[in-house]
Amino acid sequence: MKQNIIISLLIASSLVACNSRKETEPDDTPTSGVIAVASDESLAPILQEEVAVFESIYKEAGIVPLSSGETETINRLLHDSTWLAVTTRQLTGEETDFMNRKKLYPKAIRIATDAIALIVNRQNADSLIGIPTLKDILTGKIHNWNELSPGNPATRIEVVFDNPNSSTVRYAIDSICGGEKLSAHLQAAQSNRAVLDYVSKTPGALGVIGVNWISNPSDSTCMSFIDNIRVMAVSRYQEATPANSFKPYQAYIALGDYPMTRPVYLILSEPRTGLASGFTSFVSSDRGQRIILKSGLLPVTQPVRIVNITN
């Protein structure tokens, strides 16, 4: 009798352990299951396009984009809310060490080059700007449009970013202003879509935005932008001229003529080969890179068509 009881307990404990493993084991594969992918909000359009095509091919896969500012995107990766993040920077040494201590070894895969675009209202006659002048605007040394050109109205320049914790703000501080503090008068509209809406309605606005938010989806050459705003040409020099200023077209990004560019990475921390790894492979593949090519960003592996245009 006693022996029968022991055998019964062993069988029961084995069933419990088996069920417990089944509950904790992941159920996604490289082409099936459901995962979340964190993304810098300035890169949300390209992520959505990649997801749409991936899910159309792999019917059993579901990818949920989580778009936010750069800080929150990185935090989601660090604190295991997702195995995959789309960012414009690699992890810092401290962030990498933090993940390594958890036996998660993140990999940064470069997939594209992005550009920061400057947009103004259609009524604004200014079409050129130099990086030194932009720095003075962002740091509060220049306040009005007539300081750029005497022919402009004495309208206050209303600079608007997407999010106070975005990669766009970090780029402005690090790459444009050389670490100088931004003016306290700058605004955050909370999203790139809100930046577009504000600039289209505000004559004095100057929007700072990711280029794939303004690329014209109906233009297969990626040589035009949406119609409700004006995109400024940017020069590296103090005196911006038509000859030394460039718009963020793919050709000018590829040739290095456009001065405000940044890399785009997929950061993968998945401890096994699951759906996050499968999606990463897809975005890095020929088909995934062609989606990036059509979006207005510069893909890592696809050739870019160079077209002669008149600014």
Looking at the chain, the number of H-run helices and the number of E-run strands are 10, 13
DSSP state of 175: I
Give the model's confidence band at 150: pLDDT under 50 very low, under 70 low, under 90 confident, else very high.
confident
State how far the Cα of 148 lies from the Cα of 122, in Å rounded to an integer: 17
Contact between 251 and 306 under an 8 Å Cβ cutoff? The reply is: yes
Residue 246 has pLDDT above 50, yes or no: yes
Give the model's confidence band at 303: pLDDT under 50 very low, under 70 low, under 90 confident, else very high.
low
State how far the Cα of 67 lies from the Cα of 60, in Å rounded to an integer: 23
Q: Which amino acid is at 147?
A: E
State how far the Cα of 114 lies from the Cα of 136, in Å rounded to an integer: 24
SS3 labels along 29-78: ECCEEEEEEEEEHHHHHHHHHHHHHHHHHCCCEEEEEEEECHHHHHHHHH
pLDDT tens column, 157-210: 999 999 888 999 999 999 999 999 999 989 998 889 999 999 999 999 999 999
Residue 23 has pLDDT above 70, yes or no: no
Say what the pLDDT of residue 230 is.
Answer: 93
Of 108 and 22, more confident: 108
Q: What is the CA radius of gyration of the chain?
A: 24
Give the model's confidence band at 6: pLDDT under 50 very low, under 70 low, under 90 confident, else very high.
very low
Kindly state the average pLDDT of the residues 138-151. 91
As given in the structure block, the two tokens for residue 284 are: 């890095």
Say what the pLDDT of residue 227 is.
Answer: 81
Q: Exposed (0-12), middle (13-18) or buried (19+): which is 101, by Cβ within 10 Å?
A: exposed
Say what the pLDDT of residue 154 is.
Answer: 85
Matching residue, tokens 């921390």: 269
Residue 289 has pLDDT above 70, yes or no: yes
Secondary structure of residue 125 in the 3-state scheme:
coil
Which residue in 128, 138, 129, 144 sits closest to 159, CA to CA?
Answer: 138
> Which element (helix H / strand E) includes 234?
strand 233-235
Those residues with Cβ within 8 angstroms of residue 37's Cβ, 6 or more apart along the chain or in another chain: 47, 51, 63, 64, 65, 66, 82, 84, 85, 86, 276, 279
Of 37 and 126, more confident: 37
In DSSP terms, 246 is beta-bridged to 234
Say what the pLDDT of residue 26 is.
Answer: 63
For the chain, which domains are there? 33-112+262-299 (3.40.190.10), 114-261 (3.40.190.10)
Residue 7 has pLDDT above 90, yes or no: no
Say what the pLDDT of residue 163 is.
Answer: 87
Say what the pLDDT of residue 126 is.
Answer: 87
State how far the Cα of 66 lies from the Cα of 72, in Å rounded to an integer: 10
Contact between 161 and 169 under an 8 Å Cβ cutoff? The reply is: yes
